[in-house]
Structure 1
């Protein structure tokens, strides 16, 4: 299994169990090499997740990425977050210049992604957990592709 890491990833994860290659992924950040047009996973740090949910232009961009993935036929959408869900409660929202964005609003936006947009959001704790979870999901995708070939 070879994991493709999008060229826009500024601090790519390292995977213990397999090699990676840098390349373009049209939507999201990590995929199996050769399968990037059909399945990929979005990785988010906590600040990136919160800014994607709280800032209007970022929210619109996020929804466009989701629509692009759906249009490409992605069977499932995954966001892997390098934090715990509880960390949202303690995030310093003073970075936002227009009012305070509180945890209730972020949880509301997450519920839209989870329930309305059918995005699976996995809180992995940290970058090591994110690498573990992305590897696990891509391994499962690889197994599914091999099973489809055998049918």
Structure 2
């Protein structure tokens, strides 16, 4: 929505949409929060773009929280190993069960993409959900098997 000023209008950047990631509540005695990464890949090839990565930002001592990021195997191979962390606007702390909304990057070129969301949990499983999206477009959904619940993308 543009802002009105005395001398005219100033355009504001259009929102590209949002991603909603659901982490299910698992019936475990000792639950550890998963590491989760989400990235976009253009259909037909191109550089992957990390949208978010949640990991233990507060690990101390000789174990930086990034040590276990390679457990997010697909993301690590595609984009993680070359990424300098923490990355401003991308990195975040691990999350507990619940639904979380992340903004799609506002500067996505129109086209077809694959959104990948991967989760790995210590003493737990691993899940990878892929959701094809079109920008601009509608809503697309995917569902994980254990570590991830519903993944919804609303691309504007």
Question: Going by fraction, where is strand more abundant, 1 or 2?
Answer: 2
* Higher RCO (CA-CA < 8 Å; seq separation 6+): 2
Q: Same fold (TM over 0.5)?
A: no
* Rg comparison, structure with higher value: 2
TM-score category, normalised to shorter length:
under 0.3
Question: Going by fraction, where is helix more abundant, 1 or 2?
Answer: 1
TM-score scaled by length of structure 1: 0.26
